[in-house]
Structure 1
Amino acid sequence: MTNSREWLMQWLRDAHAMEEQAETMLKSQYDRLESYPGLRQRIGQHIEETKEQAKRLEQCLDRIGGGTSTMKDAGAKLMATAQGLSGIFAGDEVMKGSLASYTFEHMEIASYTMLIAAAEKCGEPEIQRACEQNLREEQEMASWLEKNLPAVTQQFMARDEKDADTAKR
């Protein structure tokens, strides 16, 4: 195996762990978004996309004779679980979760951009196509968040003001 192919395999494993982390993080947010139905629906959709992305990455790894990294996957899930638990104690959990999601989407976009170039260099068009599909989905989610964060922010602030008024009575 060439050094380039070893890097491709390593980065595919990293991306798989990243998707495992994303799924855990998104599920944690989803469970607590009943007051934000639009955000909850889009997060639910992206959970399903994320599961498919992880499957595509597993197929890519199988194609080049590698496997996922149990250690990386477990570590990523643990980090996401800790992040989810820390949000429970924040009064602005929905905003912190939205910020984390938007940031995470951009990390995923960068990762898939890199993987597409690596797959092309290694002559792996099937891996390139899988990563292009994942990239499109991540870009769509990032775009949705960018367009909807102002409304979510205003909804949060309105709910907070209403709660403060109710508490004064």
Structure 2
Amino acid sequence: MAELDGVWDVKRTGGALPPMLGVRKQISGASGETKLGPLPGASFDVVGLSLRYRAPFAGFVDVLERDEEGYRGRATFCGREFGDFELERIKTGGEMASEQLKEQLVKHIDEAYAMEQNVLRMLDGMIGTTEDSEIKNELREHKLETERHAERMQQRLEAHSATPSMVREAGGIAGALLKSVLDLTRGEKAGRNARDGYATEHLEIASYQLLERIAQRAGDEETAEAARENRRDEEAMAK
């Protein structure tokens, strides 16, 4: 797919151009046309970032420059500029669906990261209230593993130019604090901690299975692999 391929809305920004309401440029490869509604279009050839119109509009050339949202353009005739405009890409249904899928993927990575942060805080509480030395050592190993899982998810967030959600972080802190208070008031701590650990492992396994599927649908194999690695670790711990 060429850089300019697609359908573009044209917006007048200055000069002697007429109102551009309803004007669009349709570009495919090395050619395209400027159209107004159902009327016949003016055909042009794409040469780099120049749109060179064909007869009967020979001599007209649109010169484009990249912009944050699309392109800025200068309308020229025989080398003389007579107007300015902007191009904004019209997203197709497939493109919008792809963007929504990527947004969903980032959301699930963020939730996985928040989940691991919450588990870390819960593990701290469980380690502090468990007297059984064997279970305490297992919990400490689980904490080291969880730190690696959180780091993988943070790296995947950074790969998508995203940062952890402070709202989810706050929710994780509140949940961990509540569990710490409950741990101090309830009996049979070792047995209850073992039960909590078992339930947490299976929640994490299910979360990473879902993240892996979403990443595969979004074409993000690196995130899918990170989810697989975390899931395998959780499955091994759950045995």
Q: TM-score, normalised by structure 2?
A: 0.57
**Residue aligning to 1:17:** 114
- Equivalenced residue count is 142
Higher helix proportion: 1
Does 2:158 correspond to 1:62?
yes
Structure (1 or 2) with the larger CA radius of gyration: 2
Q: Which amino acid in structure 2 is aligned with residue 112 of structure 1?
A: Y
- CA deviations on 1:33-92 (whole Å, 9 max, x unpaired) are 23x121111110110111111111010011112111111012112101211220111111
- CA deviations on 1:81-124 (whole Å, 9 max, x unpaired) are 21122011111122222211111111110000000111111111
- CA deviations on 1:18-42 (whole Å, 9 max, x unpaired) are 10110000111112223x1211111
- Output aligned runs, 1:1-169, within 5 Å: 2-34=99-131, 36-143=132-239
Coordinate RMSD, CA, aligned: 1.2
| Structure 2 gap ranges (5+) | 1-97
SS at match of 1:80: helix
The ranges of structure 1 where at least 4 consecutive aligned residues each deviate by more than 3 angstroms after the TM superposition are none
The percent of aligned pairs where both chains have the same amino acid is: 27
**Residue aligning to 2:43:** none
- Structure-1 separation of matches of 2:232 and 2:174: 27
Higher strand proportion: 2
- Structure-2 separation of matches of 1:105 and 1:132: 14
- Structure-2 separation of matches of 1:95 and 1:103: 13
- Structure-2 separation of matches of 1:134 and 1:111: 10
Contact persistence 2:121–2:173 (CA under 8 A): yes
Q: Which amino acid in structure 2 is aligned with residue 32 of structure 1?
A: T
- Structure-1 separation of matches of 2:173 and 2:190: 20
SS at match of 1:31: helix
- Structure-1 separation of matches of 2:192 and 2:130: 12
